[in-house]
Amino acid sequence: LAQVLSFLMGNHVETTRKTSPDCLILADLENVEAAATAMVLQGLMAPLLQQQTCEEVEVWEENTVPKEVMYVLLVCSDGCFETQGFASWLLQLRSLNGAQVAILPIIAESGFRFPSLTFHSELLRIPHLQSFDLGSYAKIIRA
């Protein structure tokens, strides 16, 4: 609990990693609900996943996704697909391992709705996403 509270208050502790994690928890950490969900998932799921499939489970804060990743818990919150972080992460995952990465969406907020079929046209109106391949990004979200 102390680690979760510290994280939510912005006290991020840098740790040195021996290896890149093979299971990531991706969340919009600017959203308090998503950040709390990510930390609870890490605390509750990491021991179970490490016994079954993953060597290391980590809430991911970096821009670059490690090429060794095989599993992703994608914490979905309101507006998450409109953030640069999500666009970057999902496009990287597609180019790194293609269909070999298993992605499990986790709904963090009761009001979350998966994007509609017209979401691509909405993406075109978001200025901070214009540097991304929005056609590919929309296809990834629809999948």
In the chain, the percentage of residues whose pLDDT exceeds 70 is 85
3 state DSSP class of 101: coil
How far apart CA 138 and CA 143 sit, in angstroms, is 9
Tokens 């179970």 correspond to what residue? 48
**Cross-strand pairs, 128:** none
Per-residue pLDDT at 98: 57
How far apart CA 41 and CA 54 sit, in angstroms, is 14
Tell whether the torsion through CA atoms of 55, 47, 81 and 9 is positive or negative.
negative
Cα atoms in the 13 Å half-sphere on the side-chain side of 30: 9
Query: Tens digits of per-residue pLDDT, 8-23?
Result: 555 555 444 446 788 8
